[in-house]
Amino acid sequence: MKNSGLKNEAQVAKIFVSGSVALPQTNDNGVRLFKESDLTDGIISGKLTRPKYNTSELKKSVDTTIFELLPNDAPIGDPMVLRSIYEAALKRIDELNALLERLNVTIGERDATIAELQSIIEQLRIELENEQLKANIASQQSTISNQQIGETTIDLQNAIQNSINEAIARVSLTARVEALLQENESLREQLFGLAAQTAEGAISGGDNGFTVKVNNGDGDAGQLSADLWAKCSAKDAGSRKMTNTLEVSNVTTDNKITKIEFVFDGDPKWFTVKSGASSIEPETSETYDCEFNNSVIGTSKKKGISPRRKTIGWKGKGQNHTGLALKVKVTFADASKDEVSIQTDLRKNRG
């Protein structure tokens, strides 16, 4: 008989030392397969040479559970957590209990504050009602006082009016007539002075305090719609002269013109106003001369505004330049201001 199974002392010795590691590996189903030809398997074949059995030992072998040959199943116990998690949870519970105590203390303090504020609000409500009562009383007293003051004011106005009427009655009628005559004469002079100026073609300021009269030279029929006009030609660049003058009149009787400005608006700026008087007394006039600005019009036939001479021929025909306006601005002694706007027209011919 082969020395296999438990008779293989060498294999049994390995089992004692290594346990189930000394046995063949399990298959995919977890079963260990033994081969009869392999001396290390657990199958015993052949004839029994011992007709009698040791019953007690046999029972031991039958009842013994060889756990090394069984799968290691974890025992099922009570639901449990790691001690570290348990201790952390206890610590968190303690912290939350402490926080709850602090919050309860805070709530108690807030409740006390609310009660105190409610007491203050009630006190303020009482004070507000008292103040409203005082205000109502004061309003009623004010209404009564205003009525009394109104009645007193009416009486006082009546007394003043009576006094004025008596004073007027005592004033000399002749003196009143003389004052009215003087005022009438002043207004007459101012009106006739303004009327005379405008009748002569002068332009009046917006407040009728001064006028500007433009004395023009010869002009073409198409220029007469402008306030100030002049004409020149490209060939007279070295000899052209402007004869226009501006006569500024102060038609007031008692308000001096303290500042005069000539401001140009638009292009081309074909003329300038010469310096003159810086102030004008009431009921007087000052005259200011104008002159061509040859640097703009042209210092030669080939320069300046159109028309001008080219190397061959001319650039442009005879042309009217109407884009320039002159504003005459004045300031009076009483700080009031006024101005007159003058539209211009320059006719420039070739030759």
The whole-angstrom separation of Cα 125 and Cα 131 is 10
On the question of pLDDT at 44 being above 50, the answer is: no
On the question of pLDDT at 127 being above 60, the answer is: yes
Which ranges of the chain would DSSP assign to H, the alpha helix?
9-18, 55-63, 83-170, 173-199, 294-297
- pLDDT value at position 153? 84
- pLDDT value at position 49? 47
The pLDDT tens digits of the residues spanning 195-236 come to: 666 667 789 888 888 999 999 987 888 888 899 999 988 888
The two tokens of residue 114 are 């609310």
Least confident of 236-240, 289-293, 320-324: 236-240
The two tokens of residue 119 are 């007491």
Residues whose CB is less than 8 angstroms from the CB of residue 200 and which lie 6 or more positions away in sequence, other chains included: 213
- pLDDT value at position 299? 87
Instruction: Decide: pTM greater than 0.75.
Output: no
Closest alpha carbon to 215 in 193, 247, 191, 252? 247
On the question of pLDDT at 71 being above 90, the answer is: no
On the question of pLDDT at 96 being above 50, the answer is: yes
- pLDDT value at position 147? 85
CB of 32 closer than 8 Å to CB of 41: no
On the question of pLDDT at 323 being above 80, the answer is: yes
- pLDDT value at position 333? 95
The pLDDT tens digits of the residues spanning 108-124 come to: 999 999 999 999 999 99
Pick 68 or 302 by higher pLDDT: 302
- pLDDT value at position 67? 58
On the question of pLDDT at 64 being above 70, the answer is: no
**Domain 194-349: top CATH class:** mainly beta
Using DSSP's 3-state secondary structure scheme, residue 194 falls into helix
Closest alpha carbon to 257 in 245, 265, 249? 249
Give the residue-averaged pLDDT of 167-195. 68
Pick 236 or 64 by higher pLDDT: 236
- pLDDT value at position 262? 96
How many C-beta atoms surround the C-beta of residue 20 within 10 A? 16
Pick 117 or 43 by higher pLDDT: 117
Give the residue-averaged pLDDT of 79-89. 87
Q: Tell me the one-letter amino acid at 270.
A: W
Confidence of residue 330 (pLDDT cuts 50, 70, 90): very high
